[in-house]
Structure 1
Amino acid sequence: MKVRFINMTTTLFVKNTFILLLCINFSNCQESREKKIEKIDQLLSDLNSNEQFNGGFMIGDRDVMLFEKVYGYADMKTKKPLDVTNSFGIASVNKTITATLIMKMVELEYFTVNNKLVDFFPKLPYTDITIDHLLTHTSGIPFYYDNLVKKHWDKFKQLTNNDLFKLYEEHQPKQEFPAGEKFSYSNAGYMFLAGIAERASKKTYDDLLRELIFEPANMKHTQRLTNINDDTNLAKPHALSLQEGAYVPLDFHEGYPDYLDSYFRDRKGAGGLNSTFTDLWKFSNALQTAKIIEGVAIKKMLSPAKTKDGKQNMYARGWQLEMINGKRNIGHRGGSEGENCFFRIALDENYTYFLIANAKTPYLSKINNQIKNILQGNPIEKVKISGVERLSLLYEKNDYETIASEAKKLSAQKDDYYFELVEFNNISWQYWQQENFEKAFDFLKLATVAMPNNAGAWEVLAEAYMERGKNEQAIKYYKLTIDKLNTDETKKDKKWVTEWIVEIQNKIEKMEESKKNKSIEKRD
C-alpha cells in the first residue's frame, strides 16, 4: 500500500470573497483532524483486508493536500499494486468539469444558458431545450441507449459523440417530457453540452478543457481515456466475473464485448475522463480561489435547479447538492461497469475528498456514508459483507445445494452479512441476458432461501416463471407471496399491501383462466 501524508499546516488567510463563505478548517483542532483521518485510514485498511474495498482515498483543505492512500491492486489479474500517482476513471464526476467548462464559456460570452440546443443542432426536433435544461437534467431529451444505440448501432463498431448526434438527428426519438417539467438524470444531455462547446468555439472538447480548466488549475494528469497511451499509469477498472468467481479487469470479463464502455470509449461530456488525487484536489482548489471562473458564474453553477412547478432539486448545474447539519456540500458520484467514486467539497467546513473503488462492488455507498460519519464526528457503523457477492464468487464452482446451504448459513450471521433482493436480481439478470435461464432461476431461488420471509423475493420468482410461460409454478409462488404478506405483522392490513395482493390475485386469475381455456380447446 502506497501512502502520502502531507504536512497538515494550513493558512488562515482568506484570499477572496468566495472563500469568505468557507470555514478555515473542517475540525476544531489539529489533533482531531488527524484522528479523523486515522479513523478513515483504519476503516479502509480493514475493508481492504476483508476484500470489501480496492481503491483509494484523498482528502485536503483549500490550501494543502492532507492525505492520500491506496489500498489493493491496480490490476487484480497481475497483482500489480495501486500507487497514489495512478489515474482513475472518474465516470460521472466528469460532469462537474463539463459544467464548469460550460459556465466558463458563458462567462466568456460564447453563449448564454438560455441559448437553445437547436441553435447548435438545428436538425433536432427538441426546440424547447436550453443549455440550462441540459445542465440541470431537466431537458427531457430521450435516453440514448435504449432509444438509439441498442436499436441502431453495431456494438462491434466504435461509437463517438458525433455518431450519437447523427443517430438523434436521423431517428429523432420522442422527447420524454417538455423541457423544465421535471428532473431526469441524462448522460445524453452532457454529451450534447460537449458538442455545443465544440460547435460554439470551433475547438475540440479536449482543447477547451486544457485551455479553460486544466491549465488554469495546473491539472497535468487529467485527460480522456482515448488520449492515454498504452503505458499509462491507469488503475484498471474491474468487475465481478461470474465465470471465474473473482474480480477481473474489464477487458478480461466475459461481459465486456457487450459493455457500453467497450465500444463507447471515445465519449465526451458525461464521462470518459481519467484523473488523479492531486488533480482533483487542484480542481477543487481552483474553483474555490476563482482560478477558473468568477463568483457570479460560480453562484449560478451552484444554485439549485427548479422545475416549472417551482420545486427545487438538490442538483445544480453539474453538481449534486447536500445539506448536512445546515452546512453546504457539493460534489458528484460516478459509476461505470468497472469503478465507483465519490467527489465531495464541504464548502462550509473547508475540505475536499475523493473516494474511488476501481472495482464495481456493492460497498462503496456504504463506505462513503461511514467516511461522512467520521468527518462529522458521528458514530460509525459496520460495513457488512454482501451475502449475494460471496455466493456469486462461489457459484460456478459448486452445485446449487452447496450454495443454498451457504446462503442459509450466511443469512443466520446477521451481524456480519446482509442480503438485498436487488443484488440477487442483478446477478440473475446477467444470466438472463445470456439466456442461461437455469442459472438465472438459481439466483432467484437463492433469494427465497436467504430471505424466506421477503414477499418480494417470492414475487420476483413468480414473475420469472410467468415470463417463461410456466404458469403453474408462477401461480404457486404468487400464492406464497400473498401468504408472506398476510403473515407479516408489520405489513398486513396496510393499504398498499392490500392493493399489492389484489394485483397478484388478478394475475393468478388470468393465468388460471388461460389454463382453463387451453384445457377446453384441447378437449375440443
Structure 2
Amino acid sequence: MTILRVQSLLHRCLSASLVFLSLVACQQTKKEAPLAPPAPKEVEDDRQRVTAPASFTADRARQLGSQLDSAFSYLQKKKGFNGTVLVTKYDQVVYKGAFGYADFRSKDTLTTQTAFQLASVSKQFTAMAIMMLQEQGKLSYDDSVQQYIPSFPYKGITIRALLTHRSGLPNYTYFSDHLWPDRRVPITNEDVLRLMAVHQPGIYYQPNTHFDYSNTGYALLASIVTKASGEPFARFMQKHIFGPLQMTDTFTFSTARAEQHDGVATGHTGGRRKRTPDYLDTVLGDKGVYSTVEDLYKWDQALYTQKLVKQETLAEAFTGSRLRKKDEDYGFGWRIRQVASGDTVVYHAGLWHGYTTYLLRNPKEHSALIVLSNVPNGSLKYVKEIQHLLFPAKPVSMASSSAAERKEKERL
C-alpha cells in the first residue's frame, strides 16, 4: 500500500463526524472510554479563562472523543502506534487512552499514568526554570554565559541566545563521542563543560547569526540554573516546578532511577527491541525529564495561571525570535506556528533513545494534544492529521469566495 493511500485512509477515518471505525484493538491494549466534559472546578483568581462556544456541547465533546479513539486505534493496528494520549478542548479532557506495552518483553501494559522520557519536550521545563530565576532577579536573559560559568571558552553568547537556539555551539552529543574517554562511565553537565573548556570544539556559526537547533545550549541552561539558584538542577525542578504542580509521576533521569521500572515505559527501537540508557542520558536540560500524559495535562493547565511565572513573562516564551520570518518560529523552549484553523499554536516534539513525544497547545482555545510513545516507528508522522481534526480550517464564506473569484478574474 502506498503512503498516499495510507494517508487517504487515515484522513477518511479522522473526518468521519458520527461514525468511527469498528477496529478491534489488540488484546494488550488498555484504553479509556471517551470522556464527557467534567463539571467546572474552582480555579484561582489569576487564571486565564476561555469560554467554549455554544456549539461545543457535551454531545460534541463525546463525538470528538470517539473520533480520536477511532483514529488512534487505527494508528495502533495499521501503523504500530504504541503509547499514551491525552487531548483537551476548552480546558476539558475529551479523550485519553493507552495503547500497547510499557515493555514488550515483560508484557506490561501501558496506562495514562505510565512515565516516558520526554526527550526534547524537556526543553520547555528548562526554559521555565530560567524564566523563574529571571523573575527572581537572579539572572538576566542578556547576561553572558561567562557570568555563571567563568571557564566557558566562547565569547558573545548570552542566555537569550541559548534559549532561542542562536548560540552556534557544537552539539555535545557529537563531540563527546570523540572526547569522552570511556562510554561505560556516565557523562554529566559538568563533564560537558570541562570538555568544552579543555578542547574548545569548533563552533558551527557565530552567535546570533543563525537559528541552529542546539542540545548543547539547553544543557548549558541547566548548568546556569544550578549556578544561579545554588541548587542542583534536578532538585530545582522537583522543588520549584514538579512539586508545586503536583506532578507526582514526573522526575529527571538518574542512574539510580533508571534501574527502577515500575510505572516507567521502556524505550524500544522501531523493531521493538529494548533500548538501554547510555553514557549521554545523564546530561540534563536538553532532555532527561520523564512524565505522564496526566502530569503533562497539569503542566498545560498551570500555564494558564501565574503559579510559576507571571503571564507577561510567559508571553515571551511564546514570542518568535527568528529574524527572517518563516512558517515556523521559536520562543523559549517552544516552537510556534499556525494551524489550519488560523490559530497560533506552540508545541515541541522529542526523539531520544527509544522514545518519541509530542506536546501541542492552542492557547486561544485552551486545547492540547499530548502523545507519548516508546516505539519510534514513524507512527507519529500522522499527528498532523489529528491536528486537522482538532483545528479544522474555517469554511470560506460565500462573500469572501466571490471576492476571491473576482480578484482572480481581474488578474487574468
User: In structure 2, how many angstroms separate the alpha carbons of the residues matched to 1:50 and 1:78?
Assistant: 23
1:193 to 176, 196, 221: 221
1:128 to 148, 153, 156: 156
Q: Which residue of the partner structure matches residue 175 of structure 2?
A: 147
Identify the structure with the greater helix proportion: 1
1:55 to 59, 83, 86: 83
1:174 positional shift: 2.2
2:356 to 340, 361, 366: 340
1:213 to 206, 220, 241: 241
Q: Does residue 19 of structure 1 match 2:48?
A: yes
Residue identity matched to 1:110: K
Q: Which residue of the partner structure matches residue 479 of structure 1?
A: none
Q: Which residue of the partner structure matches residue 265 of structure 1?
A: 281
Secondary structure, counterpart of 2:314 in structure 1: helix
1:298 positional shift: 0.7
1:188 positional shift: 0.6
**Do the aligned residues in 2 keep the contact of 1:239 with 1:250 (CA within 8 Å)?**
yes
1:61 positional shift: 4.5
Deviations 1:397-451 (A, max 9, x none): xxxxxxxxxxxxxxxxxxxxxxxxxxxxxxxxxxxxxxxxxxxxxxxxxxxxxxx
Q: Does residue 9 of structure 1 match 2:9?
A: no
| Residues 180 and 221 of structure 1, relative CA distance in 2, 3 Å threshold | same
Secondary structure, counterpart of 2:244 in structure 1: helix
Deviations 1:276-298 (A, max 9, x none): 11110000111112211111211
Deviations 1:328-384 (A, max 9, x none): 211210111312111011111221121122101122122x111112112469xxxxx
Q: Does residue 230 of structure 1 match 2:246?
A: no
Q: Which residue of the partner structure matches residue 404 of structure 2?
A: none
1:175 positional shift: 2.2
1:4 positional shift: 3.6
Q: Does residue 331 of structure 1 match 2:356?
A: no
Q: Which residue of the partner structure matches residue 239 of structure 1?
A: 269
Secondary structure, counterpart of 1:176 in structure 2: coil
User: In structure 2, how many angstroms separate the alpha carbons of the residues matched to 1:311 and 1:45?
Assistant: 34
| Residues 327 and 27 of structure 1, relative CA distance in 2, 3 Å threshold | farther
Q: Which residue of the partner structure matches residue 274 of structure 1?
A: 290
1:216 positional shift: 2.4
User: In structure 1, how many angstroms separate the alpha carbons of the residues matched to 2:261 and 2:121?
Assistant: 24
1:17 positional shift: 6.7
Q: Which residue of the partner structure matches residue 329 of structure 2?
A: 314
User: In structure 2, how many angstroms separate the alpha carbons of the residues matched to 1:132 and 1:377?
Assistant: 34
User: In structure 1, how many angstroms separate the alpha carbons of the residues matched to 2:178 and 2:144?
Assistant: 27
**Do the aligned residues in 1 keep the contact of 2:36 with 2:61 (CA within 8 Å)?**
no
TM-score between both structures, scaled by the size of structure 1: 0.65
Which runs of no fewer than 5 residues in structure 1 stay unpaired? 241-245, 252-260, 380-524
| Residues 310 and 37 of structure 1, relative CA distance in 2, 3 Å threshold | closer
User: In structure 2, how many angstroms separate the alpha carbons of the residues matched to 1:213 and 1:62?
Assistant: 24
> Where do 1:372-383 residues align within 5 Å?
372-377=387-392
> Where do 1:242-253 residues align within 5 Å?
246-251=271-276
| Residues 165 and 23 of structure 1, relative CA distance in 2, 3 Å threshold | farther
Residue identity matched to 2:334: W
User: In structure 1, how many angstroms separate the alpha carbons of the residues matched to 2:41 and 2:52?
Assistant: 6
Which runs of no fewer than 5 residues in structure 2 stay unpaired? 1-28, 395-412
Q: Which residue of the partner structure matches residue 476 of structure 1?
A: none
Give the CA RMSD over aligned residues: 2.5
Deviations 1:35-71 (A, max 9, x none): 2221111111122123521111111346443332111
1:365 to 381, 396, 399: 381
User: In structure 2, how many angstroms separate the alpha carbons of the residues matched to 1:123 and 1:166?
Assistant: 8
**Do the aligned residues in 2 keep the contact of 1:25 with 1:61 (CA within 8 Å)?**
no
Secondary structure, counterpart of 1:216 in structure 2: coil
Q: Which residue of the partner structure matches residue 73 of structure 1?
A: 101
Q: Does residue 93 of structure 1 match 2:108?
A: no
1:151 positional shift: 3.9
Q: Which residue of the partner structure matches residue 159 of structure 1?
A: 187
Q: Does residue 83 of structure 1 match 2:101?
A: no
**Do the aligned residues in 1 keep the contact of 2:64 with 2:94 (CA within 8 Å)?**
no
**Do the aligned residues in 1 keep the contact of 2:328 with 2:335 (CA within 8 Å)?**
no
Secondary structure, counterpart of 1:314 in structure 2: strand
| Residues 283 and 14 of structure 1, relative CA distance in 2, 3 Å threshold | closer
**Do the aligned residues in 1 keep the contact of 2:37 with 2:94 (CA within 8 Å)?**
yes
Q: Which residue of the partner structure matches residue 301 of structure 2?
A: 285
User: In structure 2, how many angstroms separate the alpha carbons of the residues matched to 1:329 and 1:101?
Assistant: 22
Residue identity matched to 2:369: Y
| Residues 199 and 14 of structure 1, relative CA distance in 2, 3 Å threshold | closer
| Residues 371 and 132 of structure 1, relative CA distance in 2, 3 Å threshold | same
| Residues 62 and 273 of structure 1, relative CA distance in 2, 3 Å threshold | farther
1:121 positional shift: 1.5
1:352 to 360, 368, 386: 368
1:33 positional shift: 2.5
**Do the aligned residues in 2 keep the contact of 1:220 with 1:279 (CA within 8 Å)?**
yes
User: In structure 2, how many angstroms separate the alpha carbons of the residues matched to 1:349 and 1:42?
Assistant: 23
User: In structure 1, how many angstroms separate the alpha carbons of the residues matched to 2:67 and 2:130?
Assistant: 38
Q: Which residue of the partner structure matches residue 389 of structure 1?
A: none
Residue identity matched to 1:328: T
Q: Which residue of the partner structure matches residue 498 of structure 1?
A: none
Q: Provide the identity percentage.
A: 25
